[in-house]
Amino acid sequence: MHEDEGRRVLTMAVGQSDDVDPRIAVAQAIEQCREQMGDRSPNAGILFCAVDSFQPVLVSRVRDAFPGINLIGATSAAEVSSTAGYLEDSVALALFATDNIAVGVGLATGLDREISANTRAALDEALGGITTPVRLCIVLADPNVAQLVAETLNSMLPGALVVGGGAGRNELGASGAPTYQFCNERIETYSAAILVLAGDLAVSTAVGTGWTVLGPSGVVTRSAFGVIERIDDRPAAEFLRGYIDVSSGSAPGNPLALRDPGSDDWYLRVVLRSDSEGRLFIPGGVSVGATVQLTTTNPQQMLAATADAVDRARAAFPADAVPAAALIFSCAVRKYLLGTRSGHEVAAARAGLPAALPIAGMYCMGEIAPTGTAANSHFLNETFVTLLMGT
Amino acid sequence: MTDELTRENQRLARRVARLEMSLTQVEQIRDGNAQLLNRLMDDLDVERQRSRDLLLNVLPARIVARLDEGETNIADRHDFVAVVMTDLVGFTPSAAQLTAADLVAELNDLFTRFDAACARRGVEKIKTIGDAYMAVAGLDRDDSTASRASVTSAASLALDMFEALVTSGARWQMRIGIHAGPVVAGVIGTRKFAYDVWGDTVNVASRLESTSQPGRIQVSKVVADALESDFLLEPRGKVDLKGKGQTATWFLVGHR
């Protein structure tokens, strides 16, 4: 373990509570973090808050408890931590105390109008005063814009790992319900909260899915962002006809598996709905020429993929460093599919990681992480993402 | 105490609301999977039938049935079958003059007509090798009284084949040889199945074909004897058949 005058270079404390009063819940989470922090002062934090429990005052309470902290956060579909495991309607707080690791936060707003420029501005805000290379960028974004935010961050942070998720809400599919992202005292919708860590930080990540590709195969022949228009030169909905019905809503249990031309990596896209022209609406974009197939899964496969992702993240962690924290970004659909076993994902993480390693995370509407051998991160659906951080 | 109960009630109410939402989502996912499964089962049935149809193109139905039942080494002795061998005269020179596509199209047209004739006459097509076509009558009959019927079927097939050659407008002439006797029939291969017949009867039929004349059907004595009452035959005399020496043969001319 790397020590600096007896102190760890990176420490993460986690607190979590599902008290029916969100103000009491956040107070309990803060108190749990304080106990773990001891005499260290956190300089950064992430607040994951169930959308039904979210109140602006929760953000203020954390900021008041730790003046000057760089805080980001988002609403979530469920929350996890090594303190309380898997909870719904809870508040989970992860606080970081770092030495020799610079941190910065920014909030990209107005993303329903302009994504690239506003994301760049938020990153500039986060990077203000940071002179060392960014190793990690954690982003919590509105799910509708998460892919383009991730692509912008990829382009601006070559060599950095971009990981995060789409802010959560209760409803799956093409819901009009808002999600919230926050950065310090600012709370917004259609925004992206960014936390960057720069300096001597070791990181690794891995993605697990657990879906099985099946049924007929097609090729996307026309698409635009957020919509697959044609598959095999026919209206895209015809490809699904008889297999899954998306005319009246989403099919979260059977996402499309897609593989871009020249790539060996599959990724998933939930079909949110179709329209009378046979177009399929999806979160994020799909390349023309991508191979498309249907999928299915079951809890055993999903949990095996979760455990495998944890193992791969641990194996990929630099051998000369020690993990100090783990963050989890899992898909809201997974918790529904896992049902009473939804807590098994964080349990699998705890089983596969060092016993004392603090863990925090959220169930999101889309995840952001690199897959396979790709250097850049992608916007993913229905996956489990593990992020290990250490020095 | 009252506060605590109120909080617990709130917690339970929140939990119930969450469970109801989860139940709705799970039902939706379950229904989606059920529909997907049903459709995939239908697809599987279609694919299974397609695979079976492909297998039936290669193997006789009765052999497919035995494979279905788990039989692995299929080799049957048939005491009396009639083997028909054909060969196209002038095929090799024409192959050099036609495009590959035209050659295959013309040959396919002719052999498709032969296939139809086999089906009409109840004769089993065994295989084609290049421009040669081999069929056997009697493989589906295991009683000795059917031997004459087998030879009759083979002869009718041979005559049909010449008619098909004419109506197809093919550029080639054809020789045919027919012999009858015992063979062993069976399936070879585990990945690319092939149903084939072996034995001296096959060899003699092949020699009768190769020593026949363009436009003629040369048959052995056993075949001629079986056909005598219903078909017109023309004695050819003795022909030197490789491995058999000087052998009396007949030309099958037509139906009486």
Share the mean pLDDT of chain A: 93
Answer yes or no: is pLDDT of B13 > 60. Answer: yes
Gap between the Cα atoms of A15 and A10, Å rounded: 17
Q: Please report, as a single letter, which amino acid is at residue B10.
A: Q
- In this prediction, residue A5 carries a pLDDT of 43
A51 in contact with B at a CB cutoff of 8 Å? no
Q: Is B120 an 8 Å CB contact of chain A?
A: no
CA distance B195 to B190: 11
Mean pLDDT, residues A161-168: 96
Secondary structure of residue A114 in the 3-state scheme: coil
Structural tokens at position A123: 């990153």
Q: What is the ipTM of this complex?
A: 0.76
Token pair recorded at residue A196: 């960057």
The secondary structure of chain B as a DSSP string is -HHHHHHHHHHHHHHHHHHHHHHHHHHHHHHHHHHHHHHHHHHHHHHHHHHHHHHHHHS-HHHHHHHHTT----EEEEEEEEEEEEEEETHHHHHHHS-HHHHHHHHHHHHHHHHHHHHHHT-EEEEEETTEEEEEESTT--SGGGHHHHHHHHHHHHHHHHHHHHHHT-S-EEEEEEEEEEEEEEEE-SSS-EEEEESHHHHHHHHHHHTS-TTEEEE-HHHHHHHTTTEEEEEEEEEEETTTEEEEEEEEEEE-
* CA nearest to A284, candidates A115, A137, A105: A115
Q: Nearest Cβ partner of B18 from A89, A245, A249?
A: A89
pLDDT band at A246 (very low <50, low <70, confident <90, very high): very high
B127 at interface of A, judged by CB pairs closer than 8 A: no
Half-sphere exposure in the Cβ direction for A372 (13 Å, CA): 11
Q: Can you tell me which residue has the tokens 């912008």?
A: A152
Mutate which of B10, B39, B41, B44 to test chain A, going by most A C-beta atoms within 10 A? B39
pTM of the model: 0.78
Confidence of residue A169 (pLDDT cuts 50, 70, 90): confident
pLDDT of residue A284: 86
Does the beta-carbon distance from A296 to B33 stay under 8 Å?
yes
Phi, psi angle pair for B97, to nearest 5° = -95, -25
- Closest C-alpha to B125, from B51, B56, B49, B206: B56
Quote the percentage of chain A above a pLDDT of 70: 96
3-state SS track over B1-69: CHHHHHHHHHHHHHHHHHHHHHHHHHHHHHHHHHHHHHHHHHHHHHHHHHHHHHHHHHCCHHHHHHHHC
Give the residue on A whose Cα is nearest the Cα of B37.
Answer: A243
Q: How far, CA to CA in Å, does B198 sit from each of A206, B16, B144, B186?
A: 60, 76, 19, 9
Helices (H), A194-259: 236-240
- The answer on pLDDT for A3 being more than 50 is no
**Which helix (H) or strand (E) segment is A363 a member of?**
strand A359-364
Residue A4 pLDDT exceeds 60:
no
Longest dimension (CA), chain B: 121
Using the Cβ of B39 and the Cβ atoms of chain A, whether some distance falls under 8 Å is answered with yes
Q: Do A244 and B18 make contact, defined as CB atoms within 8 angstroms?
A: no
Collapsing DSSP to helix, strand or coil, A152 comes out as helix
pLDDT digits (tens, 9 = 90+) for A33-88: 999 999 899 999 999 999 988 999 999 999 999 999 999 999 999 999 999 999 99
d(CA B204, CA B179): 6
A225 — phi, psi (to 5°)?
-60, 125
Q: Is A270 on the interface with B (CB under 8 A)?
A: no
**Average pLDDT across chain B, whole number:** 91
Q: What is the 3-state secondary structure (H, E, C) of A244-296?
A: CCCCCCCCCCCCEEEECCCCCCEEEECCCEECCCCCEECCCCCCCCCEEEEEE
Determine the Cα–Cα distance for residues A236 and A258; give it in Å rounded to an integer.
14
pLDDT in tens, A85-141: 999 999 999 999 998 899 999 999 999 999 999 999 999 999 998 999 999 999 999
Q: What is the pLDDT of residue A173?
A: 62
Of A18, A88, A243, the CB nearest to B39: A243
Does residue A210 contact residue A386 with C-beta atoms inside 8 Å? no
Region B12-24: what's the mean pLDDT? 87
d(CA A49, CA A381): 20
Identity of the residue numbered A97? A
Mean pLDDT of B35-61: 90
**pLDDT, position A6:** 46
pLDDT beyond 80 at A230: yes
A173 touches chain B (CB under 8 A): no
Q: How many other CB atoms are found less than 10 A from the CB of residue B68?
A: 10
Place of tokens 């089906």: B119
Neighbours of A74 (CB within 10 A): 31
Q: What is the pLDDT of residue B144?
A: 56
Residue scoring higher pLDDT (B148 or A13): A13
The kind and range of the H/E element at A57 are helix A56-65
Q: Can you tell me whether residue A9 is helix, strand or coil?
A: coil
- Cβ B36–A215 below 8 Å, yes or no? yes
Higher pLDDT, A4 or A356: A356
Inter-chain contact A52–B10, Cβ cutoff 8 Å? no
The two tokens of residue A226 are 């957020």
Q: CB neighbours (10 Å) of residue B103? A: 16
* Dist CA B99 CA B76 (whole Å): 41
Kindly give, in sequence order, each residue whose CB lies less than 8 Å from that of residue B205, ignoring residues fewer than 6 positions away.
B83, B84, B85, B177, B178, B179
Element (H, E) at A12: strand A10-17
Nearest CA in chain B to A242: B39
Instruction: Give Cα A295 to chain centroid, integer Å.
Output: 22
